[in-house]
Amino acid sequence: MLESGKTSASMLALKATKSQRADKHSRASLQNFTERLPYEIQNKILSYLDAGALLCISQVSKIFNQLANDEALWRNLCKRLFKKKPMHMVGEMLEITTLEGHDQHSRDWKLRYFKTLDAGIRRKWKTHIGVVNRHTGLPSRTLQMLSQLQFFESSAVLCWNGSLWPDFHQISTIQLHGVRRVALNCPGLKAPGWRSLMDVVDMESVTKSMQDYGWDEMVELKLLKPDIVMGLWKERRSVAFVIFTLHFYRLLERSTQGSSLRPYVEPMVKAPFDDIDPDYGLHGYQLNIALHSTECELMSASFSKLFCPRDQICNGHIRLTAINDTCFSQHTPLSGSVTLPWKCEELQGKVKDRCIMTLTLLDEFIKPFWCVSSPVAMMHLEMPCSLFYSAEQFLIQYRDSEGQVLMKFVWAEQQKQFFLINLVVYVTICKVNKYFRKEY
């Protein structure tokens, strides 16, 4: 009984070994099935694939790489490509006939396919953007193609809609890059252009401090930074659009001279020599200020010979008054309603009492001293800000670490128009002392 039991156990072990060997043999036969097919059949199977699939197949193994780079496959792909638009590819068709008459080694159908595909894409874009202007180096229809880019007197507004944006809570970082164009014939070129980091938004830290900027029926606006606004769909809380406001000051350097990891750093400027008595205070300043939406300009005004005597420097700020409510000749009208239009694919709207302020303050040496381009909000004042007007009065206020701007308006019911009646700019003493090496 014991011997028979041992015999049955050994038989079971022998059967198990045989089955394992059979399984290995069957798997190996399955793995080598494609390789054991005749070359003609392999080539026929791959002939049904497109160029993208052939490129993927070529990465599987050395054998598949050899099969996917067969000249006959790429020659057929070229012929299929030429049949789609024969009128635009007469030259390529003639070149095919010439290549077929040469030796096997002179043919490179894969390279010819991608060159022809690239030429077709270039022709397509040329029809959209037009010819290149030899004076500017830009396509003649560049501004038409970049419908989300608007230029103003001293700033630019960039707007991207949310068709390709992920959900608001899935965004970790937003980066704005400028790209410096590099000639295609540059030796060792690995990228189309040098990327210069211009702005970075860390969403984790910004989400805690971002401000509610306004809303309409479909979107609500969030002020991420003084120059960045994000629009969110009310129902889904997903991104509808993002608006960047860029002042022209050092914009060219910022968009071309930074690296992909670090933004451009403005060099230290030697303090200008001031030959006037320091007790006189700040003098000879020039101010240019504009209000505009994402589409049109509402107001633009310039003021010169602004000054602040030393005895009026207080509360850590230097006050420069551009418009006084008592001087009616200085009051400036706005050319439209204060709204911030937005567009996202087929939808559009307007957020009331919101616009963009662009400020440029020049020092006595006509050099930029303080430059700002930022969205601002107009607020209704319950108490009148001026004794000379009984109409509705409004306020726009901006503040950052370098200064403040205070703008007061009245609504003229007869003209159906806003008037700017008071404009005061405050610059921090710290900024002035650091710039002029003073001790105010």
Confidence at residue 90, expressed as pLDDT on a 0 to 100 scale: 46
180 shares a domain with 56: no
Are the C-beta atoms of 196 and 178 separated by less than 8 Å? yes
**Cα–Cα nearest to 293, from 257, 253, 339:** 339
Q: Which domain holds residue 430?
A: 278-436
391 shares a domain with 341: yes
Q: Tally the domains of the chain.
A: 3
CATH number, residue 101: 1.20.1280.50
What pTM, to 2 d.p., does this model score? Answer: 0.64
pLDDT digits (tens, 9 = 90+) for 385-419: 665 666 789 999 999 999 999 999 999 888 889 99
Across all residues in the chain, what is the average pLDDT? Answer: 78
In a domain, 307, yes or no: yes
In a domain, 134, yes or no: no
96 shares a domain with 176: no
Q: What is the mean pLDDT of residues 94-123?
A: 62
More confident residue, 411 or 61: 411
In the block, tokens 């860390």 appear at: 202
163 shares a domain with 108: no
Is it the case that residue 164 has pLDDT exceeding 70? no
**Cα–Cα nearest to 376, from 331, 406, 401:** 406
296 shares a domain with 170: no
In a domain, 271, yes or no: no
In a domain, 240, yes or no: yes
290 shares a domain with 209: no
Which stretches of 229-313 are DSSP H helices? 251-256
Confidence at residue 170, expressed as pLDDT on a 0 to 100 scale: 85
pLDDT digits (tens, 9 = 90+) for 339-358: 999 987 667 889 999 999 99
- Give the domain-ending residue among 256, 291, 312: 256
52 shares a domain with 102: yes
In a domain, 71, yes or no: yes
In a domain, 267, yes or no: no
Confidence at residue 122, expressed as pLDDT on a 0 to 100 scale: 63
393 shares a domain with 344: yes
298 shares a domain with 162: no
210 shares a domain with 103: no
Q: What is the mean pLDDT of residues 305-332?
A: 87
Q: How far is CA 342 from CA 153, 215, 219, in A?
A: 20, 11, 10
In a domain, 295, yes or no: yes
**Cα–Cα nearest to 158, from 245, 248, 223:** 245
407 shares a domain with 346: yes
Q: How many beta carbons lie within 10 A of that of residue 373, not counting itself?
A: 25
Confidence at residue 49, expressed as pLDDT on a 0 to 100 scale: 85
Confidence at residue 125, expressed as pLDDT on a 0 to 100 scale: 55
The CA distance from 274 to 63, in Å, is 78
148 shares a domain with 71: no
In a domain, 375, yes or no: yes
Query: What is the percentage of the chain residues whose pLDDT exceeds 70?
Result: 71
Q: What is the mean pLDDT of residues 131-136?
A: 46
More confident residue, 180 or 31: 180
Confidence at residue 323, expressed as pLDDT on a 0 to 100 scale: 93
Are the C-beta atoms of 172 and 185 separated by less than 8 Å? no
H or E segment and range at residue 244: strand 239-247
Enumerate residues 6+ apart whose C-beta is below 8 A from 268.
none
